[in-house]
Amino acid sequence: MSARLPELTVDSVTGIDVALPVAGAGARAYAFLIDWVIRLILGLAWYSVATVVHNGDLSLALPSQTDARWFVAVVAPALAIYFLYHPVLETLMRGRTPGKRMAGVSIISRDGSAPGVGALLTRNVFRLIDSLPLFYGIGLIAVMATHEHRRIGDLAAGTLLVYDTPASSTPAAAANPAAHARFDVVGVELVSELLERWPLLTSQARCQLALQLLARQGLKTDVSSGADEATLHAQLERLVASSAPRSA
């Protein structure tokens, strides 16, 4: 078993709460670094290609004096790619970026839903504070100091970063599930609960419920409605036993 990660517990309409593993400073830094490399490469690529096109040859030489066309076509888009990467991609990809996807994390609201445009923009505005004084110093301190590893932007936007994928792979416990697939789990649960409450029920209730459950499992009963309880009890126990795993 892996070490337990801090979890965000979200209420669900099913009544079964959802546990979302919260990403810490390491996963955040990993995703940020990937994104940083991507936006740097994209920005430099634009700058290089646009400069070559602008100069009309293969040189990357800067213009000798401030040139409006060069600035608008080369510098401004490259800066826009670099600085607008996070707000634009997080909005379009709904809380993800290529770096976050590769790191297996995504941004969610505290209720487990995808964050809205306003929340994502607010989160990005506060990068100004989180990035102070250098290398996301304030953001890093906030992530380490808060229970759910949230930077100031997350606190403001009501968001947090969670892992997309569970820590474990598919369990091998059900090596041969087909061998146990004869009965549905709800039916077996009901039979099991009936057997547990058997002594507390009246004779009529025992027989009625037992017959209903056996019929639900599609089994023909070899007793009539007036059958003795012992036969029905034995039949129910056989049903539960037959659904148990068989030793190899």
Partner 1 sequence: MSSSARRQALTANLLSRMPLWREADARARRLALGHLDEASDAIRLAQDYRLLAHDLARVRTLLPGTRTREYLEGAYARAHVTLHRGAWRADRALISLFRDELPAAVRWLLPYILWCTAIFILTVLAGYALVHEYPELIGLFASPELIATVERGQLWTEGLLNVVPSSVLSVQILTNNIVVTLFAYCAGILFGLGTLYILGLNGLMLGAVFAFVGQHGLAKQLFSFIVAHGCVELSVMCLSGAAGAALGEALVRPGPGGRSESFRIAALRSGKLLGACALLLVGAGLIEGYVSPNPRFSLATRVVIGVGYWLFMLALLSGRLFPRRHTVS
Q: Does 218 bind partner 1 (CB under 8 A)?
A: no
Residue in 59, 64, 165, 224 binding partner 1, rule: CB under 8 A:
165
Asked if residues 223 and 181 have their Cβ atoms less than 8 Å apart, the reply is no
Q: Write down the least CB distance from residue 58 to partner 1, Å.
A: 25
Segment interacting with partner 1, rule: CB under 8 A, options 36-44, 51-59, 209-217, 238-246: 238-246
Tell me how far apart the alpha carbons of residues 32 and 127 are, in angstroms, rounded to a whole number. 12
Q: Write down the least CB distance from residue 70 to partner 1, Å.
A: 9
Asked if residues 158 and 152 have their Cβ atoms less than 8 Å apart, the reply is no
Q: Write down the least CB distance from residue 189 to partner 1, Å.
A: 6
Please identify, using beta-carbon distances, which residue of 58 and 241 lies nearer to partner 1.
241
Q: Does 173 bind partner 1 (CB under 8 A)?
A: yes
Count of residues binding partner 1 (CB under 8 A)?
73
Q: Write down the least CB distance from residue 184 to partner 1, Å.
A: 7
Q: Does 77 bind partner 1 (CB under 8 A)?
A: no
Q: Does 114 bind partner 1 (CB under 8 A)?
A: yes
Q: Does 72 bind partner 1 (CB under 8 A)?
A: yes
Residue in 50, 180, 219, 231 binding partner 1, rule: CB under 8 A:
180
Tell me how far apart the alpha carbons of residues 61 and 233 are, in angstroms, rounded to a whole number. 91
Residue in 48, 113, 204, 212 binding partner 1, rule: CB under 8 A:
113
Q: Does 164 bind partner 1 (CB under 8 A)?
A: yes
What part of residues 17-36 is at the interface with partner 1 (CB under 8 A)? 18-21
Q: Does 66 bind partner 1 (CB under 8 A)?
A: yes
Asked if residues 218 and 236 have their Cβ atoms less than 8 Å apart, the reply is no
Q: Does 241 bind partner 1 (CB under 8 A)?
A: yes
Tell me how far apart the alpha carbons of residues 49 and 58 are, in angstroms, rounded to a whole number. 9
Residue in 56, 133, 171, 199 binding partner 1, rule: CB under 8 A:
171
Please identify, using beta-carbon distances, which residue of 50 and 129 lies nearer to partner 1.
129
